[in-house]
C-alpha cells in the first residue's frame, strides 16, 4: 500500500511538471493568437459604433442636456476609423510572429511527453522548455502592451463618455419609475441611491431611496422594501414603499458641506443648507457616489450652467408664465415672494390660500 504522506517519485514528479507546463503552454497558445487584444479592440469598436444610437435613445427618453454628446460620438467614429487599420495590422503582425515562435515549443512539448517515463532524459529538456515558454510569455505580454498603447488615450476618452451615458440611463430609469412627475421643460441631471438622515446622523430607521437633481429642484424619493409580516424576527412578506419625501428649489441652496463618515470613512455625506423660509433649512443625506462630485453638480445646477448645454430648447411660453406672476396676491394683497419654478401651473398665496393660475 502506498504511503499517502510519502513524497512522489521521479516519474510522478515529472508527470506533474509536464502537466503544469502543458497547461501553461495551452494558455500561451491563446495569448500568441492575440485573442485578448482582438476582443478588447472589438469591444471598443462596438462601443464607438453604438454610441450615437445610445445618445439618440437618451434624447427620446427625455435627457435634454450635454448637446455636445452627439458631436463627441461622431468624432469618436472619425478617430477610430483612422486608428483601427493600423491596430489591426499590428495585431496580425504580432500574432504571426508569436505563433511562429510557439510551434517549436509545441514540438518540444510532445517530445518531453513521450519521455515521461524517463526522467533522466526528460528533465534537461523540460528545464529548457520552461525557459523558452517564459521568454515567449514575456514577448506576448509586451506585444499586448504595444497594441494597447496604440489606443489607450482614445479608449480612456470613450470610457469616460460611456460611463456618463450609463449614469444618465440609470437616472432616466429611476425617473420613469418615480412617484412624481417633472415639470414641463424641467430636465433631470443626476440620480443616486441615498439615505435621508433625518437627525443629521444616519439611523437604521432612516428612509432609503433616490436623490434626484434637476435643473430646477433637488428631490428625495423614498424607495425601499419594508416588511409587512415577520416570523421569529424574519421578514416573510415585503412590499415596496415609494413616495416623495421632500423637494426644494435648487436656487435656494446656500451651502453644501461634504464629509466622509462611517467606521472606515468611506461613506459619502452631504449636508445641504437652504435659504431661510424654504420650509427645510438643512438636509443630510448619505449618497452612494462621490460627495465632491455631487456638490459640484448641485452648484452647477444652481448657477444654471447646464442651460447652455441644452439639446432641446426651453419652451418660451413656460418662461413667460413665470415672468407673468404678480408680485402680490390679487385677493389679499399679500406678497407672492415664494420661488416660482418654470412649468408651474398655479401659485398659492401663503397668507389667504388663494390659488392663482398661470
In this predicted structure, the answer to whether residue 132 has a pLDDT above a threshold of 70 is: yes
Kindly state the cell numbers that stand for 106. 509545441
The number of beta carbons lying within 10 Å of the beta carbon of residue 22 is: 13
- Predicted pLDDT of residue 193: 98
Alpha-carbon Rg for the chain in angstroms = 32
Whole-number Å distance between alpha carbons of 191 and 214 = 9
- Predicted pLDDT of residue 345: 86
Which residues does 38 contact at the CB level (< 8 Å), separation at least 6? Answer: 91
Q: What's the pLDDT tens digit per position in 283-315?
A: 999 999 999 999 999 999 999 999 999 998 898
The residue ranking higher by pLDDT, 122 or 207, is: 207
According to DSSP, the residues that pair with 217 across neighbouring strands are: 249
The residue ranking higher by pLDDT, 123 or 69, is: 69
pTM as predicted = 0.84
Q: What's the pLDDT tens digit per position in 78-91?
A: 999 999 999 999 99
- Predicted pLDDT of residue 235: 61
Confidence of residue 1 (pLDDT cuts 50, 70, 90): very low
- Predicted pLDDT of residue 357: 87
Which among 224, 198, 283 is positioned nearest to 249, based on CA atoms? 283
In this predicted structure, the answer to whether residue 213 has a pLDDT above a threshold of 60 is: yes
- Predicted pLDDT of residue 228: 64
Give the angle subtended at the CA of 44 by the CAs of 76 and 138, to the nearest 5°: 125
The number of beta carbons lying within 10 Å of the beta carbon of residue 37 is: 22
β-pairing, 253-261 with 208-214? unpaired
What are the φ/ψ torsions at residue 192 (nearest 5 degrees)? -150, 145
Q: Compute the average pLDDT of residues 178-182.
A: 96
Segment among 109-123, 137-151, 171-185, 301-315 with least mean pLDDT: 109-123
In this predicted structure, the answer to whether residue 346 has a pLDDT above a threshold of 60 is: yes
Q: Is the dihedral of CA 296, 297, 298, 302 positive or negative?
A: positive
Q: Compute the average pLDDT of residues 199-214.
A: 96
Q: SS3 letters for the chain?
A: CCCCCCCCCHHHHHHHHHHHHHHHHHHHHHHHCCHHHHHHHHHHHHHHHHHHHHHHHHHHCCCCCCCHHHHHHHHHHHHHHHHHHHHHHHHHHHHHHHHHHHHHHHHHHHHHHHCCCCHHHHHHHHHHHHHHHHHHHHHHHHHHHHHHHCCHHHHHHHHHHHHHHHHHHHHHHHHHHCCCCCCCCCCEEEEEEEEECCCCCCCCCCCEEEEEEECCEEEEEEEEEEEEEEECCEEEEEEEEEEEEEEEEHHHEEEEEEEEECCCCCEEEEEEEECCCCCCCEEEEEECCCHHHHHHHHHHHHCCCCHHHCCCCCCHHHHHHHHCCCCECCCCCCECCCCCCCCCCEEECCCCCCEEEC
Q: Whole-number mean pLDDT of the chain?
A: 91
According to DSSP, the residues that pair with 247 across neighbouring strands are: 219
In this predicted structure, the answer to whether residue 112 has a pLDDT above a threshold of 60 is: yes
What share of the chain in percent tops pLDDT 90? 66
What share of the chain in percent tops pLDDT 70? 95
Which among 133, 103, 130 is positioned nearest to 14, based on CA atoms? 130
- Predicted pLDDT of residue 232: 61
Whole-number Å distance between alpha carbons of 202 and 199 = 7
Q: C-alpha distances in angstroms, 89 versus 19, 48, 79, 93?
A: 35, 19, 17, 6
Q: What's the pLDDT tens digit per position in 16-58?
A: 888 888 889 989 998 999 999 999 999 999 999 999 999 999 9
- Say which residue the cell 424574519 belongs to: 234
Q: What's the pLDDT tens digit per position in 243-256?
A: 999 999 999 999 99
- Predicted pLDDT of residue 13: 85
In this predicted structure, the answer to whether residue 164 has a pLDDT above a threshold of 50 is: yes
- Predicted pLDDT of residue 14: 82
Whole-number Å distance between alpha carbons of 32 and 180 = 56
| C-beta of residue 81 within 8 angstroms of C-beta of residue 162 | no
The residue ranking higher by pLDDT, 234 or 217, is: 217
Amino acid at each position: 500500500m502506498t504511503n499517502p504522506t510519502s513524497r512522489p517519485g521521479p516519474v510522478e514528479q515529472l508527470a506533474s511538471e509536464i502537466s503544469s507546463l502543458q497547461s501553461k503552454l495551452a494558455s500561451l497558445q491563446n495569448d500568441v493568437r492575440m485573442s485578448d487584444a482582438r476582443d478588447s479592440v472589438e469591444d471598443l469598436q462596438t462601443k464607438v459604433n453604438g454610441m450615437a444610437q445610445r445618445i439618440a435613445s437618451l434624447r427620446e427618453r427625455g435627457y435634454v442636456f450635454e448637446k455636445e454628446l452627439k458631436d463627441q460620438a461622431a468624432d469618436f467614429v472619425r478617430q477610430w476609423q483612422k486608428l483601427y487599420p493600423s491596430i489591426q495590422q499590428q495585431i496580425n503582425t504580432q500574432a504571426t510572429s508569436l505563433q511562429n515562435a510557439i510551434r517549436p515549443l509545441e514540438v518540444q512539448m510532445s517530445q518531453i511527453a513521450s519521455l515521461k517515463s524517463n526522467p533522466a532524459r526528460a528533465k534537461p529538456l523540460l528545464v529548457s522548455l520552461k525557459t523558452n515558454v517564459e521568454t515567449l510569455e514575456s514577448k506576448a505580454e509586451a506585444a499586448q502592451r504595444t497594441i494597447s498603447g496604440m489606443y489607450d488615450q482614445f479608449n480612456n476618452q470613450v470610457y469616460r463618455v460611456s460611463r456618463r451615458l450609463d449614469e444618465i440611463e440609470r437616472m432616466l430609469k429611476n425617473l420613469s419609475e418615480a412617484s412624481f412627475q417633472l415639470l414641463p421643460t424641467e430636465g433631470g441631471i443626476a440620480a443616486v441611491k441615498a439615505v435621508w438622515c433625518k437627525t443629521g446622523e444616519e439611523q437604521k430607521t432612516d428612509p432609503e431611496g433616490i436623490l434626484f437633481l434637476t435643473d430646477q429642484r433637488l428631490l428625495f424619493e423614498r424607495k425601499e422594501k419594508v416588511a409587512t409580516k415577520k416570523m421569529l424576527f424574519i421578514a416573510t412578506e415585503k412590499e415596496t414603499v415609494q413616495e416623495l419625501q421632500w423637494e426644494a428649489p435648487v436656487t435656494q441652496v446656500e451651502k453644501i458641506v461634504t464629509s466622509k463618515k462611517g467606521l472606515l470613512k468611506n461613506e459619502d455625506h452631504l449636508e445641504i443648507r437652504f435659504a431661510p423660509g424654504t420650509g427645510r433649512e438643512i438636509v443630510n443625506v448619505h449618497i452612494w457616489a462621490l460627495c465632491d462630485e455631487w456638490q459640484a453638480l448641485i452648484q452647477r445646477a444652481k448657477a444654471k450652467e447646464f442651460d447652455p448645454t441644452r439639446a432641446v430648447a426651453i419652451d418660451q411660453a413656460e418662461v413667460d408664465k413665470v415672468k407673468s406672476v404678480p408680485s402680490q396676491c390679487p385677493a389679499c394683497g399679500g406678497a407672492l415672494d415664494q420661488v416660482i419654478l418654470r412649468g408651474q401651473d398655479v401659485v398659492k398665496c401663503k397668507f389667504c390660500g388663494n390659488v392663482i393660475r398661470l
